[in-house]
Structures are given as structure tokens and as C-alpha cells.
Amino acid sequence: GLFVWSKTMKKVCFFMFLLCLNAASFLVSAESQTCPADLGGKCSDSDEWQGEFFPGIPQIKYEGPSSKNPLAYRWYNAEEEILGKKMKEWFRFSVAFWHTFRGTGGDPFGAATKYWPWEDGTNSVSMAKRRMRANFEFLKKLGVDWWCFHDRDIAPDGNTLEESNKNLDEVIELAKELQKGSKIRPLWGTAQLFLHPRYMHGGATSSEVGVYAYAAAQVKKAMEVTHYLGGENYVFWGGREGYQTLLNTDMERELDHMARFFESAVAYKKKIGFNGTLLIEPKPQEPTKHQYDWDAATAANFLRKYGLINEFKLNIECNHATLSGHTCHHELETARINGLLGNIDANTGDAQTGWDTDQFLTDVGEATMIMMSVIKNGGIAPGGFNFDAKLRRESTDVEDLFIAHISGMDTVARGLRNAAKILEDGRLSELVGKRYSSWDSELGKQIEEGKADFEYLEKKAKEFGEPKVPSAKQELAEMIFQSAM
């Protein structure tokens, strides 16, 4: 026969359905540590968490290359010295709060897949505080002293600017308290000027002056709290500072406005005594069709034009480099030779995927080239390596957060070891030196010192006759490079 559901039974089933949505992916040993999204229970009213956020995850330690323990470092040995610096000083590893604690696994074609056990289904201040506690436990177990944040990722947006600032202050006070007795500090902070509808036309480059003012106020506050927590850098990522079409865009005026915005940021930084580095993060497109900070060279040109070249450095993201048609190594070298290499967002993309996939860097060859630039730069302090990377949509276990960071840290550490081998071996440097040896001649020196004009060069060309052009030895260079892997 037919089974007729009562109203009470329907309510019970619907409630159970909500619980399943929130907790299906995470079966934890202690049910008391899981907060259901009931919106009325004690979990929603308190930021306190009974027990560990990551039970069963030990302090991550170095066990060496032969270890098969996924929760141990195989190549990253924090205290080991390489080329005169401890490994931890070369890297200054940082965890990206937005991907690690706000990433949901959602994409344009699918809903969220990650429901961390400490989440209660709200975006409340109390939930924000609980995430901050989880962040500090994660950092301590990973053995990392740095983290990065967007203001609106660590504290919810309010109905007014004043309310948003109040929410942020509450969470920042907790972070300040959690920092006590530890070395943990923000590597950098930033303002999220891309998610809210008010920023649909950009922030510093918006066509609406009121939006420009609001963006300035938001950056002012984000810079203050970064300074308050002892952060060493502040980042500008212009996700919507660009255009979709020039048919309705005054590009010159927008660039002028962005320069005025950065000038104000420099002035305020000095006013509050913030000695951190201001960083611009280049990206070519996505979400806008064309973003003004397209790549390292474009950003450098902008800074020079507006007289800001001595006030900023660049935060190079490897995935952004590939989207702009370059390698990460190219972008790092462009920043380095312009004196602008300040920080690295260590991630990678997928050659078969056309968007910014933000994957953890696991290519040892790419990591080795990255570290060759960092070594040439003498390190990147007060910047560091921020893992602006997220778990794959299908990776849904809490321990995956640790495994992903361990893998990324080991990859870059292995890159450092390889780069040191290449430098100590000397063959690659010798090959490059030999290729340019003709410039060590008297004529080469005259040209490099600006003492050879066209008439003089014409005279020398007639004396030399047809020049002999030697091999570039690319295959040999690649063989030497690969031998260090």
C-alpha cells in the first residue's frame, strides 16, 4: 500500500538531510568534535572547539629521502644549511588561508565537495574565530611560521564598512592572542577587492568614484591589521583592475587612478610606521579579459612610469606566469634583474586546462629553476614562499591538507638542493660564460661601457670580416641541468 508521511516525519528527514550534506565527507572518530549545521546548537554560538582540529595528525618532521611516511618531510630539513642559509630561511614557507580554510572544492560546474568537521555552515564571526584557531594548529603541526590572508576571508563582510571593520577587529584580536609565545606571523595581508558586487568594475580603477573611496578605506584597514599582527609585506592583486573591452573604457584615466591609489598606499604605510614591503601580483586575465598588471615586465613599466619603482616589489605567482605566456623562471628573472623580486606564490597550473587551477607545485625541474633565481637574488626575505594552492576537488580528507603542503614544501626543497648542486658543479655557469666570452674582449667592454658609437663599430666590422657564430650548446645545457635532478 501507500506510505503517507506525517509532517513530523518530513521535518525529521529534512533535518537529517541537512546533517548529511554537512558531514558526509568527514567521518571522524569522536562525534563530539563535529558541529552540524543546525544553526541553533551550541556550535554556532561559540568559537571554542573541544579537542584538536586535526586529531591523529602528528607534528610533521623530517625523516629523509628514504621515508615512505606521507606525513613526514623527505627533502625539507628546516635547520639544514645550504649555501650559507638554513633551508627555512631560504623559503619562509607560508600557508594561504583562503585556499586552506575557505576552499570548498566548488568550481563553475559543480558545488562544494569539502565540509571540514569544524565548520557549522555559517559565515559568522564565531565561525571565523574557530577557523583562525584551526589555522594556528595547522601551522604549528606543519612547522611553518607564516600565513597569508585576505581581509574578507578571515572575517565576514558586514552590512556597512564600520560593521566589516568591527568583525575584522574581533578576529584579528584572537589572531594576536594566538601568536603569543610563537614565531607565527602573517607573511602578508591583503584586501579582497574582487568578490563583492561593488567591485564589478574594479576598485582602484572603477568608473565610480565612490567605489574607489570604499576600496581605499578597505585597503587602509587591511594594512593596519597586517601591521598590527607583525606582517612583513602587503600585497595588491588587481583581479578586477582591468577591462573587458576598450569600447567603454578610458584606459589612460584608469591607469592614472591606479597610480594615485598606490601613491596613497605608500603614504599611509609610512604614516603608520609599517616597514613591510608593498607587493604587486601580476596576472594577465581572469576574471577580467585584460588586467593591467599583465606580467612582471608590464608591472615594472607601470611602476617606472609613475615613479613608484622604489616603493614596490613583485609577488610572482607561477600559475599566473604560465597564463601570461611565460614560464615561472622567466617571470622570476624579469623581476630579479629589475630589482623587484619580493615574494613567490608557489603553485602551478595544468597545461591542458585554460584557467588558473592553483595546484601545488610538484615538478622538481620547475622548482630547481625557481631556486636558481632565488639563489641569484640572495633569497627573498622579507618575502617568502606562499602556497597559493588548493586541494583538488576530489581530495576531501582533512589529512590531504597536510599531504599537499608537505609535497609542495619537499618539491621546492628538492629544487634548492638541485640548484645548489648545479652551482657547485660549475659546468652550467662555465657554459654560459663561454658563450658570451667574446664580450670580455676590449671591444665588448667598450660597448658595455657606452664608449663605442656606430662609426667605430662599422670600422671594427670591416676589420673583422664575416663573424664566426659558435653553437649555443642548448642540448648540453639541458643535459647538465637534468644530471642534477
- The residues that are catalytic are 150
Tell me the three cell numbers of residue 446. 667598450
CA distance 118 to 131: 8
Query: How many C-beta atoms surround the C-beta of residue 226 within 10 A?
Result: 28
DSSP letter at 113 equals: -
Query: How many C-beta atoms surround the C-beta of residue 288 within 10 A?
Result: 20
C-alpha 233, offset from chain centre: 12
Contacts with 375 (C-beta within 8 Å, 6 or more apart), sequence order: 83, 416, 419, 420, 423
Helix (H) or strand (E) holding 425: helix 398-425
Determine contact, residues 322/349, Cβ cutoff 8 Å.
yes
Residues paired with 96 in a beta bridge: 148
| 36 preceded by a cis bond (ω within 30 of 0) | no
Determine contact, residues 306/259, Cβ cutoff 8 Å.
yes
Query: How many C-beta atoms surround the C-beta of residue 124 within 10 A?
Result: 16
What sign results for the dihedral spanned by CA atoms 191, 193, 198, 203?
A: positive
CA dihedral 308, 310, 311, 316 (to 10 degrees): 90
